Amino acid sequence: MFSHKKKFDLVLGIFLVIALFVIIAVSIILYLLFSRYQTKSNFINTNQNSNFQQQLSPVELLNSYEEEIQKQIDLVQTSDKDIATVAKNLENDMLNIRVPAEKREMFLSATLQIVRMQDQGLEIDPKASKDKILEILNSLVNYEER
């Protein structure tokens, strides 16, 4: 009976040692994974922070906004590409424009109008579509708060 109890203690001891090694190994692996993830995350955050544009005063932001919209108007007027390509490029460019808070709603509305025009088909009447896009962009520059 004594030998059986010693055998049980030996099996329990071996099991506990193996469990301890497994726990230590899993802990080390998790630590290495999270430290590597944290390093990558810090690197990504550093790159994103360096890509932020400088802070502009409200007047500078408004002037920059109007200049960007005017550039888009000029691009649409002078472009010799088909209207679908022009509209797609315009949509992408408009997503990169910094918009003053008081003009955001109007800007979003204009951007959505252009996207809807693309979905409805611009090739039916390219001249009318181009004129409509120019009208939308001009409304952004000439829009006055009431």
Which tens digits make up the pLDDT trace of 49-65?
545 556 778 888 888 88
User: Is pLDDT larger for residue 88 or for residue 25?
Assistant: 25
pLDDT number for residue 53: 59
Classify the phi-psi angles of 55: left when phi > 0, otherwise alpha if psi is within -120 to 50, otherwise beta. Answer: beta
Q: What is the mean pLDDT of residues 13-34?
A: 91
Q: Summarize pLDDT for 132-145 with one digit per residue, the tens.
A: 888 988 888 875 44
Classified as helix, coil or strand, 100 is: coil
